[in-house]
Amino acid sequence: MGTKSSLIFCVCCIFSLSHAEIPYAIIGGQNGSGDYAALIPYLDPLLSISSLPTSGQINSVSINPVGNSIIGGTDSTGAYAALVSSTGTITALSSLPDPGQIRSVAIGATGISFIGGTNNASGYGAYISPIGVVTTASVSPLYAVDINQNNTVTVGGQNGAGAYSVLVSIPNTITNISSPTLPAAGIIRSVAINARGDVIIGGQNSTAAYAAFINTTGNITASSIPTTGNIYSVDINSGGVAIIAGQGGSAGTAAYAAISVIPGYTDEILGLPTTGVIYGAAINQNRAAVIGGQKDGTTPYAALVSAYREVTPIQGLPSSGSIRSVDIDSLGVALIVGQDGSSPYAALVSPSGIANILPNLPSSGILYSVDIGGTFPTPTIGPFISGMANLNALLASSFALNNHVMIQHKQSWLKKTVRDENVSLLVADKFGENYIGQTEPQAKKTRFSFWVEPFYDATHQKTYKTTPSSSNQIFGTIAGLDYKQSEGIVLGAAAAYTYNMTKISDGVGDGNINQEMATFYSSFQGEKLFFNMSFWGGLYQTEYTRYNYNIIHTTSKAKTDGWVFSPHFELSTPYRVNHKIFFEQFFMVDWVNNLQKHFTETSPSGFSLILRDRYCSLLRSELGFRCYQIMEYGWGQFFIEEKISYVNQAPFYFDPIQTYFVGPSSSFSISTTNSSVQNLAGLELHFSFVPWNAKIPYGSIDFQGEFGSTFQSYFALLEIGQRF
């Protein structure tokens, strides 16, 4: 297990291929009376390995970062071992001891393995090539083996009555332990080696617990550990920090574990059962550890240990049985295996210390070994926390306001051109200057207008790198009041509410956002120039449910809130073709900003994320042309508008963010959404009607869309307004 911490980085590259192709871990033991082993994939249920012996047991398993494994134990007559592919296909090894047994196995990053055990009463050890060629090594009876990424092997066992440990390297070069010598009476039960060659061994020296570091030349330094008891499990991380565990205390019957560093300084982990034993221990490169065993002779015991030796007992363990083997990945996610009564037991443990039982295990038997090859898959949460959904809702509200302002714009400008050229044209001003076949001085003027717009916006963001596709459905309403201060100058205020439904593809999760906003706006209409501006501000409340379909099926929920704000500005230059058609070129910009508060998820599985405060923004620029047509009827005027434009959306602070699970876990990066600049094509079709009689409400219908290679938006609204 010590080799894993230095190889975890490989898995990040492998994930980009497919989680489904690479198992996360492997477990092994006994199914009733037969051998049992299973792969633990990232996204699928347990993959039981078939064609195993029907009599015997698997004593040890090992898996490397690319998903290749080796298993070892016994069959009905002797030793048994097999290579296992990432899909569960086995290659049984030949020429193994009969009688005999394989007690320990280890596989390196390159696929080279080492197995160790006994050949009748003698020792047995062998290198295994990636295709299953067996090359034996001359060793004493072995209880433990480990291999690092340089294919250097450390082994431990017993030579006669004395403890035995050597280093083995290709091609079968043995490095014996030099002074001081190993215990003359004792045994080495567990060994581990890291990438740079640091070794930790553990076992017993006569009746005393024993552990030692071994450097690359074979020298050892004994650690300060209990004078009674036994060390059953050791592990070492890439930095040379080790964990040793077993039994200690004055009578040698208390559960014992300690953190040890070269050259042998040892700090005992306190708070363990006073009667009990630790069978398995593992530590990651961040010094987070897991231990497992039994307390009071009948009850399983397991705990997480922080880098500061703080102990968190794991919740949800069986009421009887024991934990026989453990492992922990770089995020602080652990796997523990053993026995629940008379049945095999395996659980995925969150960094907060909650055990999640793995389904589909055999109904009877026991699990003796577990090994993790990769890193727990990081959750898919990006679309919920990216802030893009909030920004989309604010943009939709801005679209709706702009629709209203443009009704005012086209009518005010038509009036000015008519007045300037002394054309006798019936032009209805929604602010009350109604030319019902009369000249301007005879017209009745009004200065106010109240309007309401329900609107809908659907957006879709395609898959981006590791972030799956997501969609928003935004239902909103905006209501406002205008005041015409003078000819061509309008001031107004409006309030908007949106309900935003967010979904992530493949059933990963869904959420909703309630968003309340207000805006102040103004516009100026000149003879050759039009501009409008507004400032938005508001708050929102987000709730989401994230579905975890990796290894275990569970849900995580969260609530958070935040604020949004945005300035908007538009400038256009209209030109008249005749008294019924005019067009304009325009430029507008929206800078939408999102401030989201920190929050913590809740989950019965314990896999709850902690998210810090974050800020992000989107600069949306649009450049294009509009064309307007006016048609006159006895009741009033009907306007048609078409728009074509280029839209540029430049995101800021949408880079992957750092987060971590609740508990002593390591931080990791989560992709939020598409952080690249997007170039979109914008289209709009608008219809509005304005009665001659100001007492009759006016209205409009608007459709617009934005289309890019990875993002699309479809917007529609209906406006009803009353002048007074």
- Using alpha carbons only, what angle is made at residue 706 by residues 704 and 707, rounded to the nearest 5 degrees? 135
Which tokens hold the place of 32?
């009733």
Full 3-state SS string of 158-193? EECCEEEEEEEECCCEEEECCCCCCCCCEEEEEEEE
Which tokens hold the place of 400?
């709706």
Q: What's the predicted TM-score (pTM) here?
A: 0.85
Contact between 90 and 135 (Cβ < 8 Å): no
Give me the pLDDT at residue 673, please: 77
Biggest CA–CA distance in the chain, Å, is 120
Residue 656: Cβ within 10 Å count: 16
CATH of range 385-419+444-723; options 3.40.50.1820, 3.30.2130.10, 3.40.720.10, 2.40.128.130: 2.40.128.130
* pLDDT one-digit tens code per residue, 1-32: 554 544 333 333 333 334 447 899 999 999 98
Edge-to-edge order in the sheet of strand 276-283: 276-283, 289-295, 299-305, 311-313
The residue written with tokens 């958070």 in the block is 560
> Any alpha helices (H) in 421-560, and if so which ranges?
none
End-to-end distance of the chain based on CA atoms, in angstroms? 79
Give me the pLDDT at residue 95, please: 92
Contact between 715 and 460 (Cβ < 8 Å): no
Give me the pLDDT at residue 378, please: 77
CA-atom Rg of the chain in angstroms: 36
Give me the pLDDT at residue 581, please: 87
Stretches where the chain sits below pLDDT 70 are 1-20, 178-180, 216-218, 382-384, 408-445, 466, 549-550
Q: Give the C-alpha separation, 623 to 534, whole Å.
A: 18
Give me the pLDDT at residue 1, please: 55
Among 633, 601, 629, 605, CA closest to 685: 629
Ranges of CATH 2.130.10.150 domains, the chain: 20-138
Give me the pLDDT at residue 18, please: 42
* pLDDT one-digit tens code per residue, 197-242: 999 999 999 889 999 998 766 677 777 788 889 999 999 999 999 9
Provide the CATH topology of domain 20-138.
Methylamine Dehydrogenase; Chain H (2.130.10)
Q: Give the C-alpha separation, 297 to 275, whole Å.
A: 8
CA distances from 678 to 20, 181, 390, 618, 654 (A): 31, 68, 18, 11, 13
Ranges of CATH 2.40.128.130 domains, the chain: 385-419+444-723
Q: Give the C-alpha separation, 596 to 562, whole Å.
A: 4
Chain-centre distance for alpha carbon 27: 25
Which tokens hold the place of 388?
């893009």
Give me the pLDDT at residue 412, please: 60
